[in-house]
Structure 1
Amino acid sequence: MVGVFYGLVLIELILLLFTPSRQQRVSIVFLVMLAIIFAYVPITVSDNWVYNWYYTHPEVPTKFEPVFNQFMQIATKVGLSYQQFKLVIFTIEMSCVAWGLNIFQVDNKRVVLLCYTAIQFFESGVQLRNYLMDTVVFVAIAYLWRDKRFDTMYFVMLVGLAAGIQLAAVFFLLLLPMRQLRTRNAQLWFIGVISVSTLLIAVPVTRHVYVLLVQAIATRLPVIGPKMLQYALRFEPGMIIILDVAMAVVLLLLFWRLEAIFKQADNQQLQSSIRLGQQMALLFYSMVPLYLVAYNFDRILIDGLLVVFAIFAQTLGQLTQRNKWILLAIMGLLVGTYSFATYHYGTKYHNTYAPMIHENTMFPDKTYVMKEGWR
């Protein structure tokens, strides 16, 4: 199966490079391959074991968010096996991606799916709540971009639904105030405030004040307060912060450059997309202070990159042939570097990518040997 998967990826890349943008359609064969990899992850793998255990023991109370918990209970009552349940999740996720891309009016869907496969996909089959939430938020942000009557309400409602799947969705509500950061100066001021806040949390003297403030707030929030306090007391900045800060800054610079290129263009939709790209980069940067307490806040950036991929896909169709190749090269460099770095950080490769691609329970790679100490 490993050879078939990489062969399909190669075919998709060739089609991406040599097919006109308006003819870029998603291959059904490639989607079926992704579905098999997604659903048939070994039960012994990290979070997949947890989800499987709760799914097969519905009588045991969980700490999962209510929407996901109810969804899981319904699937159990219907009689779906755990693998069938995951196939339903995959179908919902791909449907949400297609829904969002249609709202964004993206013709080149192939480039989005390939980027998604490189960065998000190999965690999605293990971290079920996070990536189901991610695709619902993607639809929500697509409505925010469209900006017609009631679309802001749809955005808030869909983010609320996504928060019922995983609470981290609420961070994307920050896009509402960030829409006011339209000028370069306003965005630079925002970056300055976030940078100073990060330093204040990192310096021991001012960090003590920060902990006291969190304690005061946490006592008034019985549900999420204890978790907030736990993070405040734990100071564990991961090395991934370097990569994520660099990604946020590079994306902002890239969208500033695209803004200059299309400044005179009579294309309001594309200009709205570029502004949204800037806002996404600022959202990613605003997470930097939280990285000082837990590296897994990088999920916000990873989740939000799906929106960035959609904006890049929109932009490709508006560029000259030369600039199109330049943007594809930049995308390839960013996606390739980030994918390699994140999957080889800590135990991520061995807990997600390797089991999903090599130990698939439907088509296992019999030549693959898991090294001792990887799990």
Structure 2
Amino acid sequence: MRDDEREAHPAHDDTEARKTGTEAEVDADRRSVPARRAETADGRRRNARTVRHLHGVPGQPDASSTPDATGTPDSSDAPDSSGAPSGPGPRPAGPARTPVPHGDTLWIRRFHPSPDSRARLVCLPHAGGSASYFHRISDVLQPSVEVLAVQYPGRQDRSHEPGVESVPELAEHVVSAAEPWLDAGPVAFFGHSLGAGVAFEAVRLLEHRRGIRPMSLVVSGRRAPSKVRQEAVHRLDDDAFLAEVRRLRGMDERVGREEELLRLLLPALRSDYKAAETYVYRPGPKLSCPVMALSGADDPTVRLAEMAAWRRHTTGPFWLRTYPGGHYYLNDLARDVGNDIADHLLVLRARRDAGPTGRPPGPYGAL
């Protein structure tokens, strides 16, 4: 959001909102430790499907209302993406539109609900990350753009669920979770590292199977799906695995000092790494929506040419932007990145509303 917009809509001055994504994630995970100690062995093994049916709306406020916590890295160089969706087709006719939820859902967190926003941005975190990693981005974007932050299973208030070890499966869940908002106005997708691969597959599903063109795909810190690299960090023993995680400096130092908390994060980290590293890109029709690629200038996990290769995955406009910093440049530049994304989306919305003849077009997103 621009400075003039921010003056008109001041943010709440609370300590939580000023924390970095990694600080917030650590706090949320720490608060969940006593609850996890109290779980019985049977409780830990509850089936995720049962949980989805019984707990449509999470009951714990920790992860749904506080900034996110584990700025832990993911294997951003792992081959990503899969199952090329079947060919283009019209959006299937169905019953009445799904009502837009008033609060959070199992998969979606809304830190700054903005029903009158000009666009919505589905945000997908890195490996080991959680929805609250995007709390600061949400604060910057609101009220012009509402953030729908995705909470993967296996962490914070979803720690009792097994992680999803497949990028295409995560994408299917994300599309299903975003369904209520798809008819409510323009929706874009933003993913960092592992989240970039999941966002890409989600947009493929929408365009090629559902006939819906998202407003834009914004990818960060991950090479293009066609740039394949073989990696197997998720197979390392615990010490070697954590050494690689720390190498990217995405894990807050406080996590490293708290052995119990660190061990609690391991299952989610391994699950996410496996999803990224076993992803196989299957060529298919290019996207038609705009793509904007973002990268830290000193990111050790991806080369600039690999980020530029995202251009080959769309027939629409493409932008490439770099920022000072490494793989987790977002930790320090949330305001700058948020403002750039807001400008990007609001310009696209204004152009769409004007239409080629200056007259508003039909429903947004129909191919």
The interval holding the TM-score normalised by the smaller chain is 0.3 to 0.5
Between Structure 1 and Structure 2, which shows a larger proportion of strand residues? 2
Between Structure 1 and Structure 2, which shows a larger proportion of helix residues? 1
- Using structure 1 for the length normalisation, give the TM-score: 0.32
- Using structure 2 for the length normalisation, give the TM-score: 0.32
